[in-house]
Amino acid sequence: MALKSIITVSTDARKRLQKVSYETEKLFKKALKQAGMLVLRDAIINVNQKLRKNSKGTLGNSLTVVEKGLEVYVGPTVIYGRIHEMGGTIVPKKAKALAIPLDSGGALPDSFASPRDRSDLHIQIMNGKAFLCEPDGKPVFILLRSVKIPKRPYLAPALEKNQARIVKTFEKIVSDALEKP
pLDDT digits (tens, 9 = 90+) for 24-73: 788 888 888 888 999 999 999 999 888 766 567 889 899 999 988 888 89
pLDDT of residue 4: 44
State the pLDDT at residue 54: 57
Please indicate, yes or no, if residue 8 is contained in any of the structural domains. no
**Same domain membership, residue 57 and residue 38:** yes
Residues 135 and 155 in one domain: no
Strands (E), the chain: 64-68, 71-75, 88-90, 98-101, 122-126, 129-133, 139-144, 147-149
Which pLDDT tens digit goes with each residue over 129-175?
999 999 999 998 999 999 999 999 999 999 999 999 988 887 887 77
- Domain identity same for 36 and 67: yes
**Total number of domains constituting the chain:** 2
**Domain assignment of residue 160, yes or no:** yes
Which one has a higher pLDDT value, 176 or 33? 33
Considering the domain architecture, whether residues 164 and 76 belong to the same structural domain is answered as: yes
| 105 and 117 part of one domain | yes
Nearest CA among 95, 94, 103, 80 for reference residue 149: 80
User: What is the span of the domain harbouring residue 30?
Assistant: 15-87+149-179
Read off the pLDDT of residues 107-142 as tens digits, 9 standing for 90 and up: 455 555 678 888 899 999 999 999 999 999 999 899
Q: CA 19 to CA 126: how far, in whole Å?
A: 74
SS3 content of the chain, % helix, strand, coil (to 5): 45, 20, 35
108 and 34 share a domain?
no
Indicate whether 91 pLDDT > 90. yes
pLDDT given for residue 109 in this prediction: 52
Q: Examine the domain organization and report whether 24 and 80 are in the same domain.
A: yes
Distance, CA of 33 to CA of 89 (rounded, Å): 34
* Residue 137, domain member (yes or no): yes
Mean pLDDT over residues 5-19, rounded?
59
